[in-house]
């Protein structure tokens, strides 16, 4: 299945990217965004850093926050989706008679009557592409995965639609399909690619180092498929008005979704409006899938607004999750622990319809220095629904393998695993040689060890309380700072001195609107109640994804740009009679509801006064964020030290996580309350990754067997121990507000911290996730 042309094209792209990267690396700091630090980094007495409660909290508690499946529209029909129950083949016969005759049914849509639609453009193939599956949507009789939507029923009520769907009958001519990872690998693999870069590299001679070093480990780890289980099911409410399409979605990327839906239906971008004011959990899964397209198509056919909310089973059938991986980590170390070789290779399962791999080799690119380094991620093709982003794609399971292997090496060397890691703390980016923007992994470790009581850790298998064997483990968490291109914001200053900031960003429950209200208040020198942060509408400026833990940086940079425009306009409007007359943008700041000279705040004029002087109702500016060159000029990564104490029942093999501490180095923390919740949420998801989450896949049928929260286990309240969270709070001088993202890092390192603690408790090493009790008996 090796595709030479595809690989060659990727190599050409990669060479161009490398040349660009080199130029950016060599440019002077001042040419680069973040080259002059954001003045808010130094702000100590404002709202930034205060534990403000979520501004949308009361709305949510009262049930007054309207989610995608709650938008009321007159005359709306309810949709239900039928899924294929074969992997591959053609639909040979469809019997819709009983469904069409069922009570309340208005429409049965199959490939025989669906409107003409193009495929959704694949994510990253175009700036605003949002699709995950490179296939025609209900345009032909072909089936490509077990669970593919093959019909949509519209009815007056959800129950009527669901009942009618159960009456549909399909027959298939099936074809051979690849349903096992073993078979997929035997068919041959390709090198995985991410953003045009092949995930394969070797510097130095790792084989030689592994053959000669006094200490080595060379170990394989495996991780299973996982599925997305946000509390809010994927849903949309859609309506056509002539040729314009309105979509109320649960989305992490409204602008991308609007543009992509326009491509699907042959419309101008402006003819599609997507809003998503509240999202009940995203984690990478709330992007553009087939359900939004099918809802819009069925609405078009029926001439009625449509609500489509996937069932929990539906989420497993049509929303991708995390793909299966097999990983190898080999390390060669000198007697003092210094790494001579670091190798991370392996294979990830992908779908032929989207080769996006679970990029588990990402951590090894940046976390440690080593005399030689090799990584190689191969992809093998399984006939399934494509995988997608799932909280820290790559790092979540990659850090399980890497950080378990380091623990195994530490045991072999009889060295403290923290000291072994710190021994190999790099001075510059191990891959690119770029300087770090800010990095204090050591402080995260030292502070964490002190607070957790790491020094009390006993030898493996030495600590017991009755039936319970007790152990402690530690692992490094890591996630990069990203900032995607396309950020922009509109700022409207009104005559009463209040500001409205609009940006097509997303609130998935992490506290975005709260934290940015705090930031904007400080940047403009306004009280919190004078700031209105509006987001979640594709008609607003900005192409921003609530993904990659980069939305805060993206919004921050957009707001800085808009603010710069605003100050320039205000200085013009202020004219010659103002106390701030003659000052330049660099000399003034937002203080006390107006502009003031930074080193002489007595020269101050309020926003309201400046606008009144020119008899204006408001002042509107739009700012565009510069391209994110800072990510190439500096090496920008967050880290954390994850500490875990487990009890393992010697009789039953049951594992209980008793205590957990995450100690993070993520730049400045904007709101300690919402941030702590983000970190905790990630750690809880990591607890599921370590001990519970596993998509059961029937390889004969190519079908997910446990598409339900009854049989796909995630941590519940009783599984979650006390989780302590601390941070270094050292600002990153090159990130907006000094803050790097925090949304994804919480899950990273957790799998290894728990596995390492289990080893410390029992002396048993489990290298296959999830660590269920059968593996410990
Ligand atoms: Mo994140 S997995 O990009 O929502």
C-alpha 479 to ligand 1 mean position (Å):
11
Instruction: Read off the pLDDT band of 12 (50, 70, 90).
Output: low
As a whole number, the mean pLDDT across the chain is 96
Q: Which atom of ligand 1 is nearest to the CA of 393?
A: 2
Q: Which atom of ligand 1 is nearest to the CA of 508?
A: 4
CA distances from 449 to 337, 414, 473, 474 (A): 20, 18, 11, 9
Q: Is 442 a catalytic residue?
A: no
C-alpha 284 to ligand 1 mean position (Å):
4
CB-ligand 1 contact for 286 (6 Å cutoff): no
CB-ligand 1 contact for 506 (6 Å cutoff): no
* Percent of residues, the chain, with pLDDT higher than 70: 98
C-alpha 547 to ligand 1 mean position (Å):
4
* 257-311 pLDDT tens trace: 999 999 999 999 999 999 999 999 999 999 999 999 999 999 999 999 999 999 9
Residue from 283, 388, 394 whose mutation best tests the ligand 1 pocket (most atoms within 8 A of CB): 283
- Contacting residues for 383 by C-beta, under 8 A, at least 6 apart: 87, 88, 144, 145, 177, 178, 179, 351, 352, 702
CB-ligand 1 contact for 547 (6 Å cutoff): yes
- Contacting residues for 133 by C-beta, under 8 A, at least 6 apart: 119, 120, 289, 290, 351, 353, 354, 385, 386
How far is it, in rounded angstroms, from Cα 44 to Cα 675? 18
Closest CA to 378 of 353, 401, 350, 343: 350
The pair of three-digit structure tokens given for residue 83, joined into one six-digit string? 């899924």
CA distances from 213 to 286, 338, 339 (A): 47, 10, 9
CB-ligand 1 contact for 682 (6 Å cutoff): no
What is the arithmetic mean of pLDDT over 600-611?
96
* Range name among 41-45, 421-425, 508-512, 584-588 with the lowest pLDDT average: 41-45
Closest CA to 378 of 421, 419, 323, 314: 323
Q: Which atom of ligand 1 is nearest to the CA of 548?
A: 3
pLDDT value, residue 310: 98
pLDDT value, residue 711: 97
Q: Which atom of ligand 1 is nearest to the CA of 252?
A: 4
CB-ligand 1 contact for 395 (6 Å cutoff): no
Q: Which atom of ligand 1 is nearest to the CA of 391?
A: 2
pLDDT tops 50 at residue 589: yes
- Cβ neighbours, 10 Å, residue 682: 30
What is the arithmetic mean of pLDDT over 150-175?
98
pLDDT value, residue 138: 98
**What letter would DSSP give residue 19?**
H
Q: Could you tell me if 257 and 251 are in contact, meaning their C-beta atoms sit under 8 angstroms apart? A: yes
* 668-726 pLDDT tens trace: 999 999 999 999 999 999 999 999 999 999 999 999 999 999 999 999 999 999 999 99
* Range name among 3-12, 241-250, 254-263 with the lowest pLDDT average: 3-12
pLDDT tops 80 at residue 345: yes
Q: Which atom of ligand 1 is nearest to the CA of 743?
A: 1
pLDDT value, residue 24: 86
**Among the options 408, 507, 605, 744, which is catalytic?**
744
C-alpha 260 to ligand 1 mean position (Å):
19
pLDDT value, residue 7: 56
CB-ligand 1 contact for 131 (6 Å cutoff): no
Q: Which atom of ligand 1 is nearest to the CA of 285?
A: 4
Output the furthest CA–CA distance in the chain (Å, rounded): 83
CB-ligand 1 contact for 282 (6 Å cutoff): yes
- Which has more pLDDT, 28 or 607? 607
C-alpha 743 to ligand 1 mean position (Å):
8
Q: Whose CA is nearest to atom 4 of ligand 1?
A: 284
CB-ligand 1 contact for 548 (6 Å cutoff): yes
CB-ligand 1 contact for 707 (6 Å cutoff): no
pLDDT value, residue 443: 98
* Range name among 11-15, 88-92, 230-234 with the lowest pLDDT average: 11-15
CB-ligand 1 contact for 375 (6 Å cutoff): no
Instruction: Read off the pLDDT band of 1 (50, 70, 90).
Output: very low
CB-ligand 1 contact for 746 (6 Å cutoff): no
Q: Could you tell me if 262 and 105 are in contact, meaning their C-beta atoms sit under 8 angstroms apart? A: no
pLDDT tops 80 at residue 141: yes
CB-ligand 1 contact for 283 (6 Å cutoff): yes
pLDDT value, residue 196: 85
C-alpha 564 to ligand 1 mean position (Å):
30
User: Considering the entire predicted model, what is its pTM?
Assistant: 0.96
Residue from 284, 357, 359, 397 whose mutation best tests the ligand 1 pocket (most atoms within 8 A of CB): 284
* Percent of residues, the chain, with pLDDT higher than 90: 93
C-alpha 450 to ligand 1 mean position (Å):
32
* 386-409 pLDDT tens trace: 999 999 999 999 999 999 999 999
C-alpha 546 to ligand 1 mean position (Å):
7
How far is it, in rounded angstroms, from Cα 616 to Cα 595? 17
* 115-131 pLDDT tens trace: 999 999 999 899 999 99
pLDDT tops 60 at residue 2: no
CB-ligand 1 contact for 389 (6 Å cutoff): yes
* 616-673 pLDDT tens trace: 899 999 999 999 999 999 999 999 999 999 999 999 999 999 999 999 999 999 999 9
pLDDT tops 90 at residue 334: yes
pLDDT tops 50 at residue 492: yes
CB-ligand 1 contact for 508 (6 Å cutoff): no
pLDDT tops 90 at residue 483: yes
Q: Which atom of ligand 1 is nearest to the CA of 744?
A: 1
C-alpha 549 to ligand 1 mean position (Å):
7
Residue from 391, 394, 510, 681 whose mutation best tests the ligand 1 pocket (most atoms within 8 A of CB): 391
Q: Could you tell me if 572 and 501 are in contact, meaning their C-beta atoms sit under 8 angstroms apart? A: no
Q: 3-class DSSP state for residue 723?
A: strand
CB-ligand 1 contact for 393 (6 Å cutoff): yes
Residue from 276, 357, 548 whose mutation best tests the ligand 1 pocket (most atoms within 8 A of CB): 548
How far is it, in rounded angstroms, from Cα 297 to Cα 294? 5
């Amino acid at each position: 299945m090796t595709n030479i042309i595809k690989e060659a094209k990727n190599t050409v792209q990669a060479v161009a990217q490398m040349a660009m990267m080199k130029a950016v690396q060599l440019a002077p700091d001042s040419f680069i965004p973040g080259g002059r630090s954001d003045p808010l980094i130094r702000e100590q007495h404002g709202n930034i850093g205060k534990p403000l409660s979520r501004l949308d909290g009361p709305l949510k508690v009262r049930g007054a926050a309207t989610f995608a499946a709650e938008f009321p529209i007159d005359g709306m029909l309810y949709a239900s989706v039928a899924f294929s129950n074969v992997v591959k083949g053609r639909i040979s016969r469809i019997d819709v008679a009983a469904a069409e005759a069922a009570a309340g049914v208005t429409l049965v849509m199959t490939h025989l009557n669906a409107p003409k639609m193009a495929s959704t453009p694949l994510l990253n193939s175009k700036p605003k592409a949002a699709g995950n599956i490179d296939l025609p949507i209900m345009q032909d009789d072909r089936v490509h995965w077990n669970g593919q939507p093959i019909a949509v029923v519209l009815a007056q009520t959800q129950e009527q639609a669901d009942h009618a769907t159960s009456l549909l009958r399909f027959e298939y001519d099936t074809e051979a399909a690849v349903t096992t990872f073993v078979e997929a690998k035997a068919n041959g693999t390709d090198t995985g690619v991410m953003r045009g870069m092949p995930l394969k590299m070797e510097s130095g001679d790792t084989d030689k180092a592994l053959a000669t070093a006094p200490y080595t480990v060379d170990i394989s780890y495996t991780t299973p498929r996982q599925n997305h289980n946000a509390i809010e099911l994927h849903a949309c409410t859609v309506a056509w008005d002539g040729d314009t399409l309105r979509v109320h979605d649960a989305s992490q990327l409204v602008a991308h979704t609007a543009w992509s839906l326009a491509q699907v239906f042959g419309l101008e971008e402006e003819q599609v409006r997507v809003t998503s004011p509240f999202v009940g959990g995203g984690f990478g899964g709330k992007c553009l899938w087939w359900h939004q397209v099918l809802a819009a198509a069925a609405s078009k056919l029926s001439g009625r607004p449509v609500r489509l909310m996937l069932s929990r089973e539906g989420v497993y059938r049509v929303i991708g999750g995390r793909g299966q991986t097999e990983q190898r980590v080999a390390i060669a170390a000198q007697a003092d622990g210094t790494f001579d070789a670091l190798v991370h290779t392996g294979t990830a399962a992908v779908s032929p319809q989207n080769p996006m791999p679970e990029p588990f080799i990402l951590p090894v690119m940046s976390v440690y220095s080593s005399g030689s380094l090799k990584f190689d991620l191969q992809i093998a093709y399984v006939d399934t629904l494509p995988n997608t982003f799932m909280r820290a794609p790559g790092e979540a399971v990659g850090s399980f393998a890497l950080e378990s292997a380091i623990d195994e090496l530490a045991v072999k060397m009889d060295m403290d695993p923290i000291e072994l890691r710190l021994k190999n703390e790099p001075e510059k980016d191990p891959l690119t040689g770029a300087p770090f923007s800010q990095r204090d992994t050591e402080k995260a470790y030292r502070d964490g060890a002190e607070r957790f009581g790491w020094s009390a850790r006993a030898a493996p298998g030495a600590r017991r309380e009755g039936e319970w064997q007790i152990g402690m483990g530690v692992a490094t968490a890591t996630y990069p700072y990203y900032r995607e291109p396309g950020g922009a914001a509109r700022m409207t200053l009104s005559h009463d001195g209040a500001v409205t900031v609009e940006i097509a960003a997303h609130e998935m429950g992490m506290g975005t609107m709260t934290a940015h209200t705090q930031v904007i208040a400080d940047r403009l020198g306004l009280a919190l109640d004078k700031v209105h942060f509006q987001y979640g509408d594709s008609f607003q400026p900005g192409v921003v994804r609530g993904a990659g833990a980069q939305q805060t940086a993206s919004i921050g940079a957009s707001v800085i740009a808009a603010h710069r425009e605003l100050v320039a306009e205000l200085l013009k409007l202020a004219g010659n009679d103002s106390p701030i007359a003659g000052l330049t943008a660099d000399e003034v700041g937002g203080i006390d509801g107006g502009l003031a000279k930074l080193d002489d705040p007595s020269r101050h004029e309020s926003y309201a006064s400046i606008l009144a002087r020119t008899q204006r109702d408001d002042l509107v500016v739009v700012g565009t964020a510069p391209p994110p060159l800072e990510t190439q000029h500096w090496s920008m990564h967050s880290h954390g030290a994850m500490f875990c104490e487990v009890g393992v029942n010697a009789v039953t093999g049951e594992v209980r996580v008793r205590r957990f501490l995450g100690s993070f180095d993520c730049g400045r923390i904007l709101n300690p309350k919402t941030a702590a919740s983000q970190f905790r949420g990630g750690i809880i998801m990591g607890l599921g990754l370590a001990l519970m989450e596993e998509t059961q896949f029937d390889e004969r049928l190519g079908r997910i067997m446990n598409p339900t929260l009854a049989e796909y286990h995630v941590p519940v309240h009783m599984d979650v121990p006390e989780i302590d969270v601390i941070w270094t709070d050292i600002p990153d001088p090159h990130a907006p507000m000094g803050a790097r993202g925090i949304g994804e890092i919480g899950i990273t390192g957790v799998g290894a911290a728990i596995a390492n603690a289990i080893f410390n408790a029992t002396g048993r090493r489990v290298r296959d996730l999830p660590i269920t009790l059968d593996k410990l008996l």
